[in-house]
Structure 1
Amino acid sequence: MRPAAGAAAGTPSSAAIPDPAGQRRRLGPRRLLAQRGYRRLLASRLAAQWGDGVFQAGLAGAVLFNPERQTDPLAIAGGFAVLLLPYSGIGPFAGALLDRWDRRRVLVVANLLRGVLVLLTALLVGAGVGGAGLYAAALLVTGVSRFVNSGLSASLPHLVRDRYLVEGNAFAVTSGAVISVVGAACAVGLRGLFGAGNHGSALTTAVAVLGSLTAASLAGRFARGSLGPDAVDEPAATMVAVAHGLLDGGRAALRATGVAAGFAALLAHRAAFGASLLMTVLLLRYSFHDIGPLRAGLPGLGEAATAGGAGLLAAGLVTARIVARFGRPVAVCGALLLAAVAQLGLGLPMTLPAVLLAAFLVTGTGQVVKLCVDAAVQQEVGDETRGRVFSVYDMLFNVTQVVAITVTAMLVPTDGRSPGLVVAATLVYLVGLVGYLLVRRARRGTTAAHRQPAGTACAPAPRGASE
């Protein structure tokens, strides 16, 4: 391997610095934020994801709840496909760039490019352009956004010690998800101020450019090479390296037990969540009515997003503690079980309060699983391939969610009331739980057979460490 540009040869990342202390100590938010590099990377993430929240909610208002446009389940599924699929096509190849080019420069350029594309999309919305033109512009914005998020995740181990990755990642990812919900809430408020038509939706969407510009400015303050990659194991020809992105990321993921098993769990969550998401949108638009302070329509979608954001926040507060006490397998299995119970118990009544509570629990438990998988990627995958693994990660789960939404759109009635689909989503969670346990068992058996010398015993790993 050769050192990456800007990385000092022989200088390990912060994740590689040995630390003799026990695995159960925690830094806490105050000490995490006291680290300048972590604080700056977090601020860049928050700015970017606030802009994402404004953009996606503004676009949803323009397409799903705009009185000048009509939608049906398949049209809504198409809108979600635009928001989720863009990065799936380019992600594995872009991931190779994250493992080859200076990530600091990538984050700056990508955020600036996203700002330009946000303004282009806003112009199309204001002009009343729909269909392929609007979807293509939104596709580009979302694709660049996912690229930025993968770069942020791949950079984190350079700023946080390995044994604090679960905690550092939980705080960063959860804060980002919550600020994205705040951005969505801002978009709802701005739409009320600017109006519900194409002109108002365009102005709301354009505000998202502020997040991109702020994120680029913050990322530019890092030193060149400080975010990695530390070393590059790819061919000298950039295009050859890019073309190998998907295969390399998949191989690296399959070699890591925690990552491979976590993928099985998250695939199940994404599929079940996708079905629930479409049913929720349809219920809010066509079936539910206001109940006291609870609202249907676009305000109801904002309340559902707020409930989901509260679930993300709760997950960020408890995940590191659960993992430190019980280990990642228990955290993942418990989250999948709770999600299945919430899906069935709160989904079947199909009332507005039950759906909001389900949004809190299902989103929160899904975030617990995601945080565990993120930490597994950051701990078990080498820095030279970590960007590609995160890109494959995004590709698999976005495609899974879009497929689930599309299948649901073909089966669900327009008003969103489908008990059979609620039961099916519950079963998907249980299948994911079984798949997670089976992959861990198979992979651990294979690893033990390859690593354990004859006549020696395996020392148990500390609970909450690589588990």
Structure 2
Amino acid sequence: MTSADAGVRHLGVRGLLAAPGFRRLLATRLAAQWGDGLFQAGLAGAVLFNPEREAEPGAIAAGFAVLLLPYSLLGPFAGALLDRWDRRRVLVVAALLRALFVLLTASAVGSGLDGVPLYAAALLVTGVSRFTGSGLSASLPHVVPRAHLVEANAVATTAGSVTAVVGAATAVLLRGALGAGDGGSAWTTACAAAGSLLAAALAAGFARDALGPDTGTDPGATRTLTAVAHGLLDGGGAVLRTPAVRSALAALVAHRMAFGMSLVVTLLLMRNSFTDQGPFRAGLAGLGQVAACGGAGVLLAGLVTDRLVGALGRARVVPGALGLAALTQLGLGLPMRLPAVLAAAFLLTFAGQVVKLCADAAVQAEIGDEVRGRVFALYDTLFNVTQVVAVSVAAALVAHDGRSPGLVLAAALVHPVGALGHLLLARPGGGSAGHR
């Protein structure tokens, strides 16, 4: 928080909701993220927990690539185009296209298609979703005073995450009512189109140009591609020149790699090994409980990270969080028991969110405004690509039933390596840029 921010009076949720523009933009986000949560859970159920299909670990890796890579590969282009096109129109058109692609994916599921046709349809959905998410974020300064952007973003992000979990829970309920086979999975997935259609209707209620950009121009596709390429290079250079940022990103990459490996193990344990134990559930419902535990970890991190950093400093908090993650995987992950896995999901997600919040703060505090957006674009790419690579490697090595203690040990060891990298890169001479 800057000194200027310290004197700003917080509006609170009620004060923010008093602004009509923020209410409509938030409602658009919630509709879109409810549909996202439902679609992703519906697709996971269709591929991984469908009695009519026998998904191998490779299908898990392909599924995560479909869900995460568009956010990384399209993110920089989405940002560049959203600075040139009317964002209201982008939100409406993207939401309508997304509804169409959701129905296309549902049709592929219902027809029993697998492999490339199914993943290609899902890739269209998640690719278009990137434009919706970026458009909502870029539009926020047009509906909230600049002094309250941090507060408004926190409310919107938290509410959106909770709504996505509600969407996933809706998918679980729909599968119970409609069936777990291809037909029921198709109808469940198709219901996600309702969120996109509602988001389009809400976004259409804004006046033309009300969401910016203020000085949008269309320089053509070639210049846009060139700007994106230069932007990523500029972002990489800024990261290498800034010890606090390069060290934080090294820690974040380490955690995402370990988290991706653990995720594959958890998915296969839930599908092929675990059975219900009292209130604890296996299968898709069990993954819902894992997601709920992870959400609680994110919430706790949001409440305590600022105080931890204030008391200890980022230089201690980040390695401490990675140490907690390593101990969690050794103490709770290795036994491979259902209650322990749920506890591990809570602590691992908590630790990872602490690292992410510290990385966010490092970029915001240490990187100049003129290049900050490009650094965040690079950050987004590293974050998701690392997880996809980790999931792919783990899928090639994991046992069919998920019981792979070697993978859990490897994931645990990645954390101290990340902590060491964080400490070394935090030094002024810890990277190549430090010698310039």
Pair in the same fold by TM > 0.5:
yes
Contact 1:178 1:312 in 2 (8 A): no
Contact 1:96 1:245 in 2 (8 A): yes
Paired residue for 1:405, among 391, 416, 426?
391
Residue 362 (structure 1) shift: 1.4
Mapping for residues 59-138 of structure 1, pairs under 5 Å: 59-138=43-122
**Paired amino acid for 1:405:** V
State the match for 1:304 in structure 2: 290
**Paired amino acid for 1:241:** T
Gap change, CA 1:266 and 1:39, over 3 Å in 2: farther
Gap change, CA 1:433 and 1:123, over 3 Å in 2: same
Paired residue for 1:360, among 337, 346, 366?
346
Cα distance per residue 1:295-329 (max 9 Å; x no partner): 11222122212222222233333345555666655
- Alpha-carbon distance in 2 for matches of 1:99, 1:373: 25
Residue 201 (structure 1) shift: 0.5
Q: How many residues align?
A: 433
State the match for 1:236 in structure 2: 219
Whether 2:133 is the aligned partner of 1:149: answer yes
**Paired amino acid for 2:412:** T
State the match for 1:290 in structure 2: 276
Gap change, CA 1:407 and 1:178, over 3 Å in 2: same
Paired residue for 1:249, among 229, 232, 249?
232
Gap change, CA 1:204 and 1:80, over 3 Å in 2: same
Cα distance per residue 1:141-194 (max 9 Å; x no partner): 111223322333344455566776555444332332222121111101100001
Structure 1: stretches of 5+ with no match in the other structure: 1-14, 451-467
- Alpha-carbon distance in 2 for matches of 1:410, 1:332: 30
Contact 2:95 2:200 in 1 (8 A): yes
Paired residue for 2:329, among 335, 343, 359?
343
RMSD: 3.4
- Alpha-carbon distance in 2 for matches of 1:388, 1:336: 26
Gap change, CA 1:305 and 1:374, over 3 Å in 2: same
Contact 1:178 1:313 in 2 (8 A): no
Secondary structure of 1:85's partner? helix
Whether 2:91 is the aligned partner of 1:139: answer no
**Paired amino acid for 2:378:** V
- Please identify, of 299-308 and 116-125, the stretch whose mean Cα deviation from structure 2 is larger: 299-308
**Paired amino acid for 1:110:** A
Identity of aligned residues (%): 63
- Alpha-carbon distance in 2 for matches of 1:34, 1:444: 48
State the match for 1:281 in structure 2: 267
- Alpha-carbon distance in 1 for matches of 2:209, 2:427: 39
**Paired amino acid for 1:247:** H
Gap change, CA 1:392 and 1:449, over 3 Å in 2: closer
Contact 2:50 2:181 in 1 (8 A): yes
Gap change, CA 1:119 and 1:311, over 3 Å in 2: same
Gap change, CA 1:30 and 1:82, over 3 Å in 2: same
- Alpha-carbon distance in 2 for matches of 1:377, 1:399: 19
Contact 1:231 1:384 in 2 (8 A): no
Contact 1:99 1:387 in 2 (8 A): no
State the match for 2:167 in structure 1: 183
TM-score between the two structures when normalised by the length of structure 2: 0.86
Contact 1:307 1:360 in 2 (8 A): yes
TM-score between the two structures when normalised by the length of structure 1: 0.81
Residue 378 (structure 1) shift: 5.8
Secondary structure of 1:441's partner? coil
Cα distance per residue 1:75-122 (max 9 Å; x no partner): 222222222223433333233212333333322222221111111111
Secondary structure of 2:6's partner? coil
State the match for 1:58 in structure 2: 42
Whether 2:224 is the aligned partner of 1:210: answer no
Whether 2:256 is the aligned partner of 1:270: answer yes
Residue 381 (structure 1) shift: 6.1
Contact 2:425 2:431 in 1 (8 A): no
**Paired amino acid for 1:395:** T
Secondary structure of 1:295's partner? coil
- Alpha-carbon distance in 2 for matches of 1:212, 1:205: 12
Residue 444 (structure 1) shift: 11
Paired residue for 1:41, among 4, 9, 25?
25
**Paired amino acid for 1:78:** A
- Alpha-carbon distance in 2 for matches of 1:254, 1:217: 41
Cα distance per residue 1:387-432 (max 9 Å; x no partner): 6554433332222111101111122111112222222212222233
Secondary structure of 1:442's partner? coil
